[in-house]
Amino acid sequence: MIITIRGACVALTLLLILPSVLRAAEKNSASILVKDALTAPGQPVTIEAKLVSKRLMLIAELGGELLELEVEGKVVARGLTGWDGRAFLTHTPKAQGVMPVRVVIGNSPRVEKAEGLANLAVWEKRQPILMIELSSLVEAPAPRPVPPIGITFETERTPMPGAADELGKLTQFYYKVIYVIPSSTKLDGFQAGAEARDWLKRHKFPMGTVLTLPADATALGAKIDELHAAGWRTVKVGVGRSKAFAEAFLQRRLEAIMVPEPSKGEVPRKAKVAKDWKEVRKKL
């Protein structure tokens, strides 16, 4: 009887301990989000990645995990995630062009294998660059006020007729392109950039770099100033949908084109207007 009771106690103890042991052995399922980046040949660039746990609806971040940056199948940089799940991976590319980069999890006892993709734009600073408000590429939504710097991007939206073809002609031999999109309360810069990049690829827009900015009226102007200070003086033209986007360029004596044609009162002085993307190409 004593043996039976003792055996029952052992069995009960195992039943209590076993679930926690199994949970400890389980690896966490996570996603990696990566921001696009811009640099010149031979210049170092820091690529920002974020590791996010799937168990808490993509909210909980994972710190202390090793992330690896791969370019053309080779690991070129490694970095540990911080308390917020972010890691900063520095690389100095030599070849020009827009190249896909991949960030993966290194050997981890806690996290399952995962990968995140982004684009690294490597351009000479003398090459002309178009900054394009992403909302100018999509069909107009149902009537509603336009936020300060365009609209929050929605992946189900359809592109404006001819936008991809006309932009492809502009970028085939001459312009490089930076797509600009605001982050929002629903999507941070990582998620907004990933969705925009996927939409652009799906609708066959030319490759470029996606830039996410805070959704306020000063963010775009500050970014233009930052690019100019870093030597990107060929950022001279902005093509956008919103008045605030155009004004950020005009205030710096740069060229701005609005597409499609906005309502009266929404066109700043000296801004050009195009009814569609075919007309945009004629105004450049």
Q: Give, for 97, the enclosing helix (H) or strand (E).
A: strand 97-105
* CA 37 – CA 47 distance, rounded (Å): 6
Predicted TM-score (pTM) of the model is 0.84
**Domains of the chain, each with CATH number or no CATH:** 30-122 (2.60.40.10), 129-283 (3.40.50.1000)
Angle formed at CA 138 by CA 136 and CA 141, multiple of 5 degrees: 105
pLDDT at 141: 58
**The two three-digit tokens of residue 236, written as one number:** 């001279």
Q: Angle 243-250/219-229 helices, nearest 10 degrees?
A: 30
Q: Which stretches of the chain score pLDDT less than 50?
A: 1-3, 8-24, 57-58, 145-152
Strand-by-strand arrangement of the 255-258 sheet = 209-213, 176-182, 129-133, 235-240, 255-258, 272-273
pLDDT at 200: 96
pLDDT at 106: 85
* CA 138 – CA 154 distance, rounded (Å): 9
